[in-house]
Structure 1
C-alpha cells in the first residue's frame, strides 16, 4: 500500500485491496470483505520520516486474511441497519425469516443487513474514486431482490460516500441503509452529535422507550467518550457529528466532522467502556423498525419503502482536519 503515489492509478494488492489517494489522504477498500473500508488515513512527512494517522480504526491483519467485515474500518448496512428481533418481521404480505448472522451476538437477533456478508464487485476505479456494486436475489431471509452501489470519492480534505439501492423485485420493498464506521478511541477523545432523543435498550440491545435525557444533552454539547458506555439508537439526529482528538503520540490535535444527508436521520453510538474504538453510525432507521412501526410511527423509527424499479441514494461525508481549520 505504501507504493501508491499521488496521481497514479489505484493500486490493487492481495488480499484484494484498492488504494485511493488525494493529497495526504489515503483510502483503502476491501471489496471482498463485504464492500468494506479497510483504512482511511493521512500520510505526511516530518523531515525524512513518513508518518501515518488513522481517522478510522484500521483493519486487522487477521480480518484482512479472513475478509471479516467486523475487523474492518467501516462496512455498509443494507437492506437494513441494526437488529431485527429474532429475524422475524412482515411487510406487504411477505415474511422476513433472517437467520442469526453475527458470531459474537448470542441473543439471536440478526443485524447489519446482508451486504456486509457478501463480496462486492469493483464496478469502476480511478486514482481518487471507486464504485463497488452488489446484486442480491430474493430468498426466504429477505424476500425481495435488490442491487446496491457504493461510490467513494476521495478529496484532499474529505471522503464522500454515496450509497444507492434499487428495488429489482416486483413488489414494494422496505429499506434501511447506512454505514458502520469504527473510530479510534484514544484518551481524551470527545464527541458532539446533536439528536432529539435516545432509544433506551434492554439487555439484548433492543429498543424499549424514547428518552430525551441521559446522554442526549451531553452529546448535544460535546462529551468526553470515557464518560459513556452505550450501544443505543438516536432519533431526530441533526445529521452531523464531530470527533475531537487531543495531540498525542498518534498525531497533532485534530478533529473529524461527519455530515450526512436525508434520509440518514438516525444515529447509532456504540461506545463500550475501556475499548480502543467506538462506532458512530449514520443510518436510515432504528433497530427493529418494522416490528415497532405500528406502535411508534415512522418519525421515531425511520425506514423507507421502494417501489419496483425505484432507487434510493444517501450520502455522507467524513471531513478530517489536522491544522485547526475546523475550529475549537
Structure 2
C-alpha cells in the first residue's frame, strides 16, 4: 500500500493508472493518473487526479493535502459518526443517502424513527444550524467504518482496490444484516465505482446507496462552469438550512434549475442544495451528468448504469469552486409520510440473500471554448 500514513487505523491506499503522471506529460487528451483511498473510512476517495492538456496534473476533488486527512476527519464535534467524511473528497453512503427524520432526543442526540415499518433508533448526526432547527440522521451508517477486508490488484490497464465491509445490522439500526463489497478501478480513461450490498440476514430490508464526491473546478471560476443534468423535476425543500423536502415536486423547465439542454447551463450565482428526480435516461439506460469547466478545458462525465438510481443530489455554494453531484438510490426522507412508500422512496428492497449493485463511471473530455 506504499504509505505509512493511516486514517482510523488503516493505511492510505494509492491507486495509479498505467503509466501514471509521467506518461501524461504533453498528452493531447485528458487522462486519470492517481487516486488516494481511505480504507479506514469505508474506502472513501480522498483525492482523484488527472493530467489535463496544457495544465498538467490537477486535483479533481475538493480536499486538503493527504497529510492533513487524519486531522480533518478526526476533528469536528465529538460523537458525530464520521461527519467530516462527507465534507471532503468522496464518501460512500449506505444503507441510506440524504436525510431520515424522526423523534429527536437532545439528551443523547438519538432519533426514533420508522424504517420499513419497524421502530428503529438512529444517531442524529445532522440537522439545521439555526436555533430550534430540526435534527436528523444523514448520509448513512458507514462514514467512520473501517473495511474488514482489502485487496490491491494491478493489471496492464488498471489499478483496482477491492474491499469488504461486514456491517451486520449497523448496530441494531437496520432491519437485517448487510455485507458490502466495494471495487474501485482506476484506468487512464475511466474511474469506476462498483458497490454491491447483499442482505446477509434473515429479514427483508430496504437498501439505499449513494456517493458524495466534491468535484473541483480547476479554473476556480465557478460562475462560468456549466452543469448538464437531465432531470425534469426537483424536490422542493423548506429552506437551505434544514434542507427537508416538503413533498412538492417542482418542474424545472423554464426555471434556473433546468440543466437538461445539451451542453447544460451555466451555474452563475445560483445556490444549489437540491435533489433532482424524474431522470432522463440514455437509450442504453444510463443516467449521465456532466460538469464543464471551459476555462480549464475540462469536462467530467458522471454516468451510472444502475437502474435503481432515481435521484441526483447537488450541492454547490456560489462562493466555492466545487460542485457536489451525488447519484442516489433513495430520495430525501425516504420513509416519511410525504411519499407514502413504507418500503422507502427509491430504496431497493432486498429479500434474504438478494443484492443490489450501484455503479458509477467517471470519464474525462475536452469541451469547446468558453
Q: What's the TM-score bracket when you normalise by the shorter of the two chains?
A: 0.7 to 0.9
For the 8 Å contact 2:275–2:312, the answer to whether it is kept is yes
Q: 2:226 & 2:53 partners in 1: Cα distance? A: 27
Equivalent in the alignment of 1:6: none
Report matched runs for 1:200-215 at 5 Å.
200-203=236-239, 204-208=242-246, 209-213=248-252, 214-215=255-256
Structure 2 counterpart of 1:81: 97
Taking the aligned partners of 1:237 and 1:96, their CA distance within structure 2 comes to 31
Indicate yes or no: 2:12 matched with 1:17: yes
Compared CA separation, residues 216 and 276, structure 1 to 2 (3 A):
closer
State the match for 2:42 in structure 1: 34
Report the equivalent of 1:254.
Answer: 298
Answer yes or no: is 1:145 the counterpart of 2:189.
Answer: no
Instruction: Name the stretch that deviates more: 104-113 or 237-246.
Output: 104-113
Change in 2 beyond 3 A, CA 1:296/1:125: same
Q: TM-score, structure 2 length as denominator? A: 0.75
Distance, in Å, in 1 between the alignment partners of 2:231 and 2:351 is: 30
Query: 2:311 maps to what in 1?
Result: 266
> Which residue of structure 1 lines up, in the alignment, with residue 292 of structure 2?
244
* Correspondence for 1:107 among 128, 134, 139: 134
Partner residue of 1:7? none
CA contact (8 A) 1:167 1:306 kept: yes
The match for 2:60 is 55
1:267-322 Cα offsets, whole Å, 9 max, x none, are 00111221232211111011011224753799x9411111111111111101023x
> 1:217 pairs with 246, 258, 261, which one?
258
RMSD value, Cα:
2.7
CA contact (8 A) 2:117 2:342 kept: no
Superposed displacement of residue 207, structure 1: 0.8
Cα distance, 1:29 vs. partner?
0.4
* SS across alignment from 2:202: coil
* Structure-2 change in CA distance of 1:93 and 1:289 (3 Å): closer
Matches within 5 A, 1:90-101: 90-101=114-125
Task: Give the gaps of 5 or more residues in structure 1.
Answer: 1-9
Using the TM superposition, name which of 202-211 and 104-113 deviates more. 104-113
> Structure 1: which 4+ aligned runs deviate by more than 4 Å?
43-46, 103-106
Which residues of structure 2 form unaligned runs of 5+? Answer: 22-32, 74-83, 103-110, 281-286
Aligned residue pairs total 308
Matched residues in 1 for 2:268 and 2:176: separation? 42
Return the TM-score normalized by structure 1: 0.84
User: Structure 1 stretch 63-72 or stretch 303-312: which is displaced more?
Assistant: 63-72
Structure with the higher fraction of residues in helix conformation: 1
Q: 1:277 to 1:145 in 2, by over 3 A?
A: same
CA distance in structure 1 between the aligned counterparts of 2:172 and 2:302, rounded to whole angstroms: 36
Moved more, 153-162 or 131-140: 131-140
